[in-house]
Chains A and B, each alone.
Chain A
């Protein structure tokens, strides 16, 4: 158990719909990152939030957006869903400068777009 919880665990959406995924970071962690892991691939960095501001973004279109709240929990929103958005979405939290800089991952949300 890492203390990072994600909801829901599984989700099925129709192409063109919108989806919101949620992440509760480990207590005391102020940085949250989101990753997309397509089947059979390694996780791909989507973006990172630090103290409620986006401070890094990977190669994902603007229809992928996020929020971080004052309690450091986070949301990932995806608009106009496409079939290729089907993946495991992972959230990771950390608390720099902790010295270890370890990212703690949640169990993920499995999104299926049909």
Chain B
């Protein structure tokens, strides 16, 4: 069975500083990996996804993530954080089924942005 671990529950970063969120996964086959963002009281918005190919993937809002099979990691990065990036971020692994991917989520990392 697949699982996802996000080791950092909270991260505080200054506006303009860089951000890296860690994600480690466990899955027996080639993983489908996702990062979602959730603002307070909102649903989930997809930031980026990895299915195959280039291990560095670009997403929306200036985010990128790097897939490292040897480390079972899919860390999310942003070079310069904006106050609007304050939110909760979830890493997820997809298990393929006949009708698409079932998602297993990590526990999330809450990002606070200091002015």
Contacts and interface: CB of A to CB of B under 8 A. Distances in A.
Answer yes or no: do A and B interact.
Answer: yes
Interface string B86-115: 000010101001111111111110000000
B108 A103 contact: no
A66 interface: no
A94 B43 CA distance: 15
Nearest to B97: A56
A45 B100 contact: no
Interface of B: 4, 6, 32, 36, 41-46, 49, 51, 90, 92, 94, 97-108
24 contacts: A2-B43, A2-B45, A30-B99, A33-B102, A42-B92, A42-B106, A43-B103, A45-B103, A45-B104, A48-B99, A48-B100, A50-B100, A55-B99, A56-B99, A56-B102, A101-B49, A101-B100, A102-B46, A103-B46, A103-B100, A105-B36, A105-B43, A105-B44, A108-B42
